[in-house]
Structure 1
Amino acid sequence: MSSEEIILEDNQLVCILTNKHKKATSQEKSIQSIIRMLNEEYDFDLKNIDRDVNITFTDPDTGKVKKQKIEVVIYEENSKRNQEDITRIGIVQDEKIKDNDNKKGVTITLENALAALDNCEFGLWTNGNDLKYLQKEDDEYNFDFKFSDLADIPGYGETIEDLDRADRSNSRKPANDSLIKVFKRSHDYIYGNEGRKKDAFWQLLYLIFCKLYDEKRRFICIEKGESYRRKFWVGIKEKNSDAGRKNVAKRIKDIFEELKQEGTFSDVFDGNEAIDLTDKGIAFIAGELAKYSFLDATVDVKGMAYETIVSNTLKQEAGQFFTPRNIVKAMVEMLNPNENTRVLDPACGSGGFLVLVLDHVRKQIAKKMYPDLEDVLLAEKFNTYEVNEKVRQYAETNIFGFDFDPDLKKAARMNMVMAGDGHANIFHVNSLAYPKWEHPSEIEKINLAINNSLAKMKDIDSNYTNDARGKFDMIFTNPPFGAKVKVEQEIAEKYFLSKYSDAPEILFIEACYDFLKPGGKMAIVLPDGILGNPNTFPVREWILENFKILASVDLPVEAFLPQVGVQASLLFLEKKTDLDKNIAHESDEDYDVFMAIAEKLGKDRRGNPVYIRDEEGAEMLFTIENKYVSTSKDGTQEVKSRVEKQKMVDDDLPKIVSAFLSNSK
């Protein structure tokens, strides 16, 4: 990666095809997204893609020659790139244009363009949110063309018959923001067309889980020695007829009933859940989801897509605000858990910390199993059966999450299954009340899970309590804080620190201390008041007496905006052993503490991205080689790359992580 001194004005981007500066309108961003999608997901080479191409045609009514601009076209390989060489087209409109617009909608633009191109059978239309695929076919009765809605269009070297095979198992690997758009499009469809505004989120998740379960059946089939044949699929035109939609709906509902009984998924559901969408709705969303392989998508891609939906539903309903991914990633990387680390988040929300711990350890496992592979070829192994088995075993044994909100418990379990299992140890419990609570059955489940983990990891100690206290090697958490969050007096008074405050964030520090093993480490988000206010001085004294301070990272006020404005820091602590405490009492402690200030987190107060600028304030461009793996129909893999000039978000956290790890060696 290298930077170039090219002045890029605000609200500009560089086209990956032409390297020209373009105004970053919604239409232009969508053009760039479609080009990346066609290149990386559909495997069309950039040299065969062009943009803003004028085609000519004769108006059948007037006989006059007219022109139409096509935003994205794909030419036949090694052709002269003439109009007759165009094989695919993409019409890209502004986000405000609807698909039925009488001037720029699907019919007047895409159908017209396809009719004008002799050798182009397939095209797409998008406004950045909606995405329509069409096929042009001869209409023998009217001596004209007819246009059929498709669930997808063929990629490079594919035919429409390839897409229509029920046994097709190599779904597309989502690139850039494709999965986010699919999730959002599906959620908006349920919300707007199915009359299910209250449970659109859950209905979408049920369908996502059907897709995940169907993909995971590959591994179930391997264990049973059976051949895998997918059940979650939609015929390329199946959603166009009542009979076809009925068949899709039956397949999907059958999968849902099956997965609710299957071991991996059964404890995610209560058993009485149902997919209550119309056949048309199920067919539409299944068609959207079926295009992609969720297992092969990176955790970042899946996590961003999942959290986009969660952020628009559970967060608003529960008044909860979760930790931004770059902060979570930095905290996990700084403590660097491995496959022998038992991890807890006692306020896990939708599972953001636990998912990234799982991903962090997955990469270590894959590297150990495939030491000769690097980069994208190693990433291709992240979801092999062998890696998945080790990841599943680690997660089932070593990853734990507690949350007070039962809906968030379910959301976290679903998030963990999407990331690679480990959902079984997500519990609905008030961590501050543990080990006592008004739901004793849940406490029993926690204690049983902990004892199973101790037995598998062979680290049972006779001095341990027979519950979760004193059992964890690491804790990652962002506890609830603020004046609105109250802790019942009966719960608060069990903590020593309640003498100074009953604020949940302060009591959580002591609760985390109780959950950690001696020598265990924690990374916690805390409001700056704890670390600086005179009235919390006794709290800081208690922290210093019971923990070693490993690091402190000050965050800017933008960290949690636009959801909530709070000045916070990341504190990294190590629970002292009895020996550590004795040494500290006998002599003055003297050790180094890593301290850093993060001035930029890659976004402004409104949540808009902030990019690296030069000394004169101009946004800088970086030349980046994006590598990806192309898989042919016969399963052959090839590493391809795409060089782009991109802006880079201005985020200090990766530099802080690097400095901390260097100092820790």
Structure 2
Amino acid sequence: MLELRINGNKIYAPLKGKELVKTPEEEVRQKYILKLVNSYGYELEQMQQEVSLTGSKRGTGRASADIVVWRSKEEKKEGKNPIIVVECKAEYIDIKSEDYYQGQNYARFANAPFFVTTNEKETKVFKVNLDVTPKTLSDEILDIPNAKEANNDDKIKKLLGQTKAFERDEFSKLLFQCHNVIRNNDKLSPEAAFDEISKILFMKIRYERNPDEENIFTLKQFEKQEANYEKNIRPVNIKRNGPKDDIPYMDYWFELTKDEFEEDELFDKNEKIKIKEASFKDIVRKLQKYNLSTTSDDVKGIAFEEFLGGTFRGELGQFFTPRTIVDFMVDILDPQEDEVMCDPCCGSGGFLIKAFEYVRDKIEQDIKIEKDKVNLAFDELSEGKAESELEKLKEVSNTIIQKLGYETQIRKSSEQEIAKEKSKFISRLEKLSASCIFGTDANPRMARTAKMNMIMHGDGHGGVHHRDGLLNINGIFENRFDVILTNPPFGARVEKSLLITKADQISDENRITKYKKMYGAEVYEKAMEQLLFDEETTKGKPVLDTLYIGKEGLSGLTEVLFIERCINLLKPGGRLGIVLPEGVLNTQNLGKVRQYFESVAKLILIVSIPQDVFMKSGATVKSSLLFMKKFTENEVSLWKQYENEAIAEVSAKYEEELKNIERQLALRGKDAPLASVKKELRVRKRKITEDIELEVRQIVKERFDYDIPIATVEKAGISSTGTSIDNELKDVILPQYVPYRKQNELWKELKPVFQYKWNTKTGKAQRIKNNSEPIVIEW
């Protein structure tokens, strides 16, 4: 058994007999060489790494094949045509069509019948068709031959004829078929049937992560284990419950799956498989030919979304944010690499998936541009150099390329330990997936769905939890996020009777230790103070009291509470995009709520969208998309300064009148005013208080001045029936908003302007610019 040997930033290459710089691409290449040896039975002597197929001595991937395999070591020595050509890409890079053409051209040049493209997470095998033009992609097939089959022409012919048709529509239909198997055979509700499909998909993913174990997802293996069960040959050693010998094979594998995803809290510890073995067997038969781990994220991700859409919208009545809205909101907030993102009401994970893909594409594009520069420089330097010099140059270029895909990051448990802890290399994509994507959903089914959906799209699921979005959990607490995107529940209320309980706390000491190390013990403990409860009653404060709006009794509406929750979760200067019913923006009884929000965050864009957008999902409330930026520390100080100044100015204006009213109300006996006069005085006092509050707010808004772009679109890419239509949101992004945002540096500090007028009769602010027409800003 050949093993991977990594030594720091070096990796051993058995085909070269020496250590090489461990670039992301080199690691994928060495892992595939191991697979050729350990899984397919090839010998090292019948393979070669970095084979020049163009006669060039240059060592870049553009001039040589990564791995070439011959039928035998004798044919390799004799210089005969190879049978397989392999093109490797780094794990964080999606394989594009040009990569397929590149590998195909290498294989065509070598007259090899098979070529492979792999980035480890996705592997595709193609047959080389010499009868078509070079720009025509050959058919994708199921697999390459193993070492024994490589010398059998009949086997080769059969493999070349087994075309692979794992397309998006096919997989989506397959998921529906599995769903129907459970509904028909086990008579479960649509919701329960979906839960069982989720369990089986997680079981399959668990196997694919542990390929050395026996493959449960073939009918042959299942029937073998089923026969063993009948003969009383039972699986043993389940970590969660200790040794067991009295459970069926499918239950045994589900126990292992619960262990695998235990920290993700996917399933209750007592959760069981709730379908018949016959149903399980039928689904195994349908799924066995698919490998989710090596299938492109685009294919399986969109297929799973189609399945979710048909199942949840059509049968479960769940609510999803249409992709056109998700895409628009992510584009507006433009998340960047290293920014931490969250959706506290994540549903099926649409916002998190789009944000993950958006940043991942930026990383891949950056690496590609920089890598091309390195390769170009290498080509120029390598002209006329001897082989020994080329080797040295190649190592230098590989060292540079290694740093493109990885960044040096200090992981620390406390400020005092920073100096002690050594820098570690971490993949930029790994950091994005493991440290930058977070979400919660109060519905356990939706939290599980979001995790599965994210795995299908390329991962990032580890930060998603089943938790009330108003409460803190791993990494989801105040002042943590650069970007928040969400579509909170509308119309529901949080009552004062809803209390924090012991169940809302994390009790697992290992996880607590892990979180303290990740975020710092002091920071984590402070975040968890939100969940403190009385040890005797095991009950805590009302959930409403964790928020200013709830504690002050301003509102208990979920959509309003989640605006404050999101602002609290943001770092100073962090950005929020949220879907809201339009009533939040203009209902009179929410006036004080809006006043509070404008004192902690800036409005950066409001987009009114047509009612049709959510109609297919069963929602009839007209909505708007609200974008805000939490005040920076400087803006907090500036707002407070303006507020204090305004209070002093306006209070001085009414000081004498208020003192006079107080003196008259304080009189007693014969000097006391009549009851009717007292009533008038109290009414006047309240009116003065209200006037002071209004005038203070006017002055502060006059001094803390900025434009608020407002857009209204008639068509947002989706009709009331769910069909695709024109999308005017695209016109808001590039031609209008993005240039405006960049020109005005909206993500930067406020630059106050004081030419501003407030019309108390209309309740509208008017700012005059360069003698032009007033810009009307409604809020």
The one-letter code matched in structure 2 to 1:325 is: R
The offset of 1:523, in angstroms, is 0.8
**Correspondences of 1:76-475 after superposition (within 5 Å):** 159=158, 174-197=166-189, 199-217=192-210, 231=215, 233-234=217-218, 255-262=253-260, 267-297=265-295, 299=297, 301-311=299-309, 320-371=318-369, 390-432=428-470, 438-444=500-506, 456=518, 466-467=526-527
Measure, in 1, the Cα distance between the counterparts of 2:181 and 2:225.
19
Distance 1:295 1:338, change over 3 A: farther
Q: Does 520-529 or 328-337 show the bigger shift?
A: 328-337
Measure, in 2, the Cα distance between the counterparts of 1:442 and 1:489.
12
The offset of 1:184, in angstroms, is 1.2
Q: Does 591-600 or 264-273 show the bigger shift?
A: 264-273
In the alignment, structure 1 residue 501 sits paired with structure 2 residue 494: no
SS in 1 for 2:624: strand
In the alignment, structure 1 residue 581 sits paired with structure 2 residue 658: no
Distance 1:267 1:248, change over 3 A: farther
Distance 1:535 1:299, change over 3 A: farther
Could you list the per-position Cα deviations for residues 584-639 of structure 1 after superposition, in whole angstroms to 9, with x for gaps in the alignment? Answer: 453623334343333222222122333xxxxxxxxxxxxxxxxxxxxxxxxxxxxx
The offset of 1:520, in angstroms, is 1.3
Q: Which residue of 1 aligns with 2:567?
A: 513
The one-letter code matched in structure 1 to 2:218 is: V
SS in 2 for 1:522: strand
Pairing partner for 1:533 from 581, 587, 596: 587
Q: Does 310-319 or 276-285 show the bigger shift?
A: 310-319
Distance 1:554 1:511, change over 3 A: same
Measure, in 2, the Cα distance between the counterparts of 1:658 and 1:431.
32
Measure, in 2, the Cα distance between the counterparts of 1:276 and 1:504.
34
Q: Which residue of 2 aligns with 1:492?
A: 544
The offset of 1:299, in angstroms, is 4.6
Q: Does 555-564 or 425-434 show the bigger shift?
A: 425-434
Counting aligned pairs with the same residue, the percent is: 28
Measure, in 1, the Cα distance between the counterparts of 2:216 and 2:259.
17
The one-letter code matched in structure 2 to 1:159 is: K
Gaps of 5+ in 2: 1-96, 102-128, 133-138, 140-155, 231-247, 373-404, 408-425, 474-497, 531-539, 643-701, 743-779
Measure, in 2, the Cα distance between the counterparts of 1:449 and 1:560.
39
Greater relative contact order (Cα < 8 A, sep 6+): 1
Measure, in 2, the Cα distance between the counterparts of 1:447 and 1:567.
46
Q: Which residue of 2 aligns with 1:566?
A: 621
Contact 1:172 1:292 (C-alpha < 8 Å) held by counterparts: no
Contact 1:425 1:449 (C-alpha < 8 Å) held by counterparts: no
Contact 1:402 1:427 (C-alpha < 8 Å) held by counterparts: yes
Contact 2:207 2:213 (C-alpha < 8 Å) held by counterparts: no
The one-letter code matched in structure 2 to 1:231 is: N
Measure, in 1, the Cα distance between the counterparts of 2:727 and 2:438.
29
Measure, in 2, the Cα distance between the counterparts of 1:447 and 1:553.
45
The offset of 1:576, in angstroms, is 0.6
Measure, in 2, the Cα distance between the counterparts of 1:448 and 1:518.
31
Measure, in 2, the Cα distance between the counterparts of 1:445 and 1:394.
27
SS in 2 for 1:467: helix
Measure, in 2, the Cα distance between the counterparts of 1:248 and 1:289.
22
TM-score (ref. length: structure 1)? 0.54
Measure, in 2, the Cα distance between the counterparts of 1:328 and 1:398.
18
- Structure with the higher strand share, 1 or 2: 1
Q: Which residue of 1 aligns with 2:611?
A: 557
Contact 2:606 2:625 (C-alpha < 8 Å) held by counterparts: yes
The offset of 1:513, in angstroms, is 1.8
Contact 1:599 1:652 (C-alpha < 8 Å) held by counterparts: yes
Distance 1:307 1:551, change over 3 A: same
The offset of 1:321, in angstroms, is 1.2
Q: Which has the larger radius of gyration?
A: 2
Contact 1:522 1:574 (C-alpha < 8 Å) held by counterparts: yes
Distance 1:233 1:491, change over 3 A: closer
In the alignment, structure 1 residue 609 sits paired with structure 2 residue 728: no
Measure, in 1, the Cα distance between the counterparts of 2:513 and 2:580.
31
The one-letter code matched in structure 2 to 1:326 is: T
Distance 1:447 1:581, change over 3 A: farther
Measure, in 2, the Cα distance between the counterparts of 1:437 and 1:392.
37
In the alignment, structure 1 residue 657 sits paired with structure 2 residue 733: yes
Distance 1:370 1:449, change over 3 A: farther
Matched length: 431
Could you list the per-position Cα deviations for residues 12-52 of structure 1 after superposition, in whole angstroms to 9, with x for gaps in the alignment? Answer: xxxxxxxxxxxxxxxxxxxxxxxxxxx9xxx9xxxxxxxxx
Measure, in 1, the Cα distance between the counterparts of 2:712 and 2:526.
41
Q: Which residue of 2 aligns with 1:127?
A: none
Could you list the per-position Cα deviations for residues 268-323 of structure 1 after superposition, in whole angstroms to 9, with x for gaps in the alignment? Answer: 23344444444543343233333334345555544443344445656688754121
Distance 1:451 1:362, change over 3 A: farther
Could you list the per-position Cα deviations for residues 359-387 of structure 1 after superposition, in whole angstroms to 9, with x for gaps in the alignment? Answer: 2233233334444689xxxxxxxxxx999
The one-letter code matched in structure 1 to 2:627 is: F
Could you list the per-position Cα deviations for residues 504-533 of structure 1 after superposition, in whole angstroms to 9, with x for gaps in the alignment? Answer: 111211122222221111111111111123
Could you list the per-position Cα deviations for residues 454-503 of structure 1 after superposition, in whole angstroms to 9, with x for gaps in the alignment? Answer: 8657xx69899811799xxxxxxxxxxxxxxxxx9944355443444322
The offset of 1:263, in angstroms, is 5.5
Structural RMSD (CA): 4.7
Contact 1:172 1:293 (C-alpha < 8 Å) held by counterparts: no
- Structure with the higher helix share, 1 or 2: 2
Distance 1:544 1:411, change over 3 A: same
Contact 2:611 2:621 (C-alpha < 8 Å) held by counterparts: yes
Measure, in 2, the Cα distance between the counterparts of 1:449 and 1:184.
37
Measure, in 1, the Cα distance between the counterparts of 2:586 and 2:508.
36
Distance 1:304 1:275, change over 3 A: same
The one-letter code matched in structure 2 to 1:292 is: Y
Q: Which residue of 2 aligns with 1:7?
A: none
SS in 2 for 1:571: strand
The one-letter code matched in structure 2 to 1:599 is: E
SS in 2 for 1:596: strand
Q: Which residue of 2 aligns with 1:646?
A: none
Measure, in 1, the Cα distance between the counterparts of 2:508 and 2:624.
30
Contact 1:210 1:256 (C-alpha < 8 Å) held by counterparts: yes
Could you list the per-position Cα deviations for residues 147-175 of structure 1 after superposition, in whole angstroms to 9, with x for gaps in the alignment? Answer: xxxxxxxxxx8736987xxxxxxx95843
Q: Which residue of 2 aligns with 1:593?
A: 708
The one-letter code matched in structure 2 to 1:443 is: Q
The offset of 1:580, in angstroms, is 0.7
Distance 1:305 1:552, change over 3 A: same
